[in-house]
Amino acid sequence: MFAAGALVTVVTLVFMPEDRVVFGVLTFLGSAMLLTGVLEPLLKKIPPAAGLAVSAVLFALTYHLDERWLGFGGLRLALPDAWYANYFTAFFGFLPFDFYSTDYFALLPWLFLFWAGYFLHFCMGRQRMEPLRRSVCPALGWMGRHSLLLYLLHQPVIYGVLSAAAVLFA
């Protein structure tokens, strides 16, 4: 997943730098998966309901990092401008003023939402999730099993079709 995100970044930087994707959703998902895999022995020690609650609170608390503050509603803690320095800090959620990406999902706050889903799975239990595993439509099941490939191909295919239509109907 992380490699697919890196591929999207390279392709957009080379072919459409004005619409570049830096730290997009695939890069985030790959990073979250890798971190969760490394930290899973620790995460499994946390009771699922507590992990879900803490993850949800941390997500809400860090949701406005890109606006340079932590907090809920009117309770705000301004964060130092020094934390918002460069592309390295942007990966974590601390965007410098000159940062631009057409698709951007920082590690924070979204890692906490990812972990909320991780803990929710254990709160629900495998048996209650089983009906979601059954495919009610074979075509949708196939698309679900091949979603990364479809995600990577959908925009080039759409651009190709629209470009061909523009040439044909110009």
Q: What does the pLDDT look like over 27-75, one tens digit per residue? A: 999 999 999 999 999 999 999 999 999 999 999 999 999 999 999 888 9
Name the residue type at position 79. Answer: L
Contact 28, 110 (CB under 8 A): yes
Quote the CA–CA distance of 12 and 102 in Å, as a whole number: 10
Contact 134, 59 (CB under 8 A): no
- The pTM of this model reads 0.85
Going through 29-155 in order, the beta strands assigned E by DSSP cover 69-72, 75-78
Q: CA nearest 116: which of 5, 34, 32, 8?
A: 32
Q: CA nearest 59: which of 111, 119, 5, 134?
A: 111
Quote the CA–CA distance of 28 and 149 in Å, as a whole number: 17
Any residues with CB less than 8 A from the CB of 163 and at least 6 apart, and which?
Answer: none
Per-residue pLDDT of the chain (170 residues; tens, 9 = 90+): 999 999 999 999 999 899 999 999 999 999 999 999 999 999 999 999 999 999 999 999 999 999 999 998 889 999 999 999 999 999 999 999 999 999 999 999 999 999 999 999 999 887 777 777 777 888 988 898 899 999 999 988 998 999 999 999 98
